[in-house]
Amino acid sequence: MGGRSIVKAAKRYGAASRGDAAAALTYYSVLSLFPAILVGTSLIGLLDADATASLLDGAGTLVPGDSMSIIEDAVARLQMDPRTAGLLALLGLATALWAASNYVAAFSRALNAVDDVDESRKWWTVLIVRVVLTLVVGALTAVCAVVAATGGSVARAVGRALHAGDAAVAVWGWVKWPAITVLVIVIVALLYWLAPAKRSRLRRRAPGAALAVVLWLAASAGFGLYAASFGSYDKTYGALGGVIVFLVWLWITNAALLFGYEYNATAEPEADTAGTAAGEASEPSAAET
């Protein structure tokens, strides 16, 4: 992962105003996020009430404090009547899939703009890819949520079922976050691989995916620290302060995703050029021998 490619990608990113595309993706993120929260909290709540609290604690390490109140309030309202959890999960699942597929479609258009190509696939191919990618990414995201929720009483219950000691449960509490990070990188790499019209190998999408996730984690931590220590969103926007912080964080998330793909779009041609030059240089040497 070359520093020169990162600098070049940053220049391309700024020149093309990718932040505008990140703002559009933020809109679709909002539409898909709360149905996803509805599904997640309903399903987890059916299994264990403490699991939702564990999941929110994990989310609190990434989401800025002011915006966490929005998610916590939404979860609290959804859990007021546990008898409707199953129905809410079904309704939320249908809504979440529809909204998430719209996000994937918008993300595909944004990546095609980075590659400076038009959509060349058949409409039915695009539709199939969109649905399959939504289902796969949704399933992997659900796995991340389940892994994040396996703390507290859930982890102890699983540990007893597997005849694992308290030490193993404690180790899992540390190991699960790197595991989630790897899963998130896989999710982003799949988006980079399948969403755009331009074809490439999955392993060539991995560097940008890793960069996007690292950048997202660092930016989330930095923005969270700023919002908690120096930000004046509550003074400026009053009761809407948490909403503004949440929207800015979603924009940061999408901006990081687009930058990771911008890096791939910059680094892949350079790698191809370097490989071609190396091959041409080796041909005369082989002829001489």
Cα separation, 249 vs 234, in Å, equals 15
Which pLDDT tens digits describe the chain residue by residue (289 residues)? 678 899 999 999 999 999 999 999 999 999 888 777 767 666 655 555 566 676 677 666 666 656 666 667 766 665 555 555 666 667 777 888 888 899 999 999 999 999 999 999 999 999 999 999 999 988 888 888 777 766 666 566 666 766 666 676 677 777 888 999 999 999 999 999 999 999 889 999 999 999 999 999 999 989 888 877 766 666 666 667 778 888 999 999 999 999 999 999 999 876 555 545 444 545 555 555 5
Output 18-21 pairs: Cβ under 8 A, ≥24 positions apart. Answer: 18/110, 18/114, 18/255, 18/258, 18/259, 18/262, 19/251, 19/255, 21/110, 21/113, 21/254, 21/258
Q: What's the whole-model pTM score? A: 0.80
